[in-house]
């Protein structure tokens, strides 16, 4: 059962799931005040530009944004918006990179190298490549 303040009976906030985070569905959910936290997935929303648009919409409705997967990339995006709340960390892709950002005491540091600050792991293509 939902209450008028978008919480369930346990007082938990409702989040806009990553699958609904395309430009138009996100806009509709926010304009109807049906969401408290917008979780945006870079791959599903259509890239960095669309991610930033949805984050901007959330900011206009005074709602925070969270990331969905790919923390190595989402870290930059969440840090770049004033309403960034949290980077979802799932240790699935860290093996792809040489020295990727990792959580330490619940926090991650944005890499300072060029671009996203990521380099592929030296043995990545030998280990996982198709030959």
Does residue 86 form part of some domain? yes
In this prediction, residues 71-75 reach a mean pLDDT of 94
The CATH number assigned to the domain holding 53 equals 3.20.20.120
In this prediction, residues 74-82 reach a mean pLDDT of 96
Contact 70, 91 (CB under 8 A): no
Contact 21, 38 (CB under 8 A): yes
Q: Considering its fold, how many domains does the chain have in total? A: 1
Extended strands (E) in the chain? 15-16, 37-40, 65-67, 84-86
d(CA 102, CA 94): 8
pLDDT of residue 17: 54
pTM, whole model, 2 decimals? 0.80
d(CA 131, CA 116): 28
**Which pLDDT tens digit goes with each residue over 93-117?**
888 999 999 999 999 999 988 999 9
What SS3 state is found at 2? strand
Range of the domain at 56: 15-92+113-128
């Amino acid at each position: 059962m939902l209450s008028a303040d978008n919480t369930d009976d346990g007082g938990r906030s409702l989040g806009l799931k990553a699958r609904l985070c395309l430009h138009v569905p996100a806009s509709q959910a926010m304009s109807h005040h049906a969401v408290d936290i917008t979780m945006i997935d870079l791959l599903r929303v259509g890239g960095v530009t669309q991610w930033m648009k949805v984050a901007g919409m959330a900011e206009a409705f005074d709602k925070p944004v969270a990331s969905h997967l790919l923390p190595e990339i989402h870290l930059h995006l969440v840090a770049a918006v004033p309403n960034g709340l949290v980077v979802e960390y799932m240790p699935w892709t860290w093996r792809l990179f040489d020295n990727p950002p990792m959580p330490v005491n619940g926090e991650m540091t944005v890499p300072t190298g060029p671009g996203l600050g990521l380099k592929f792991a030296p043995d990545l293509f030998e280990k996982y490549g198709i030959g």
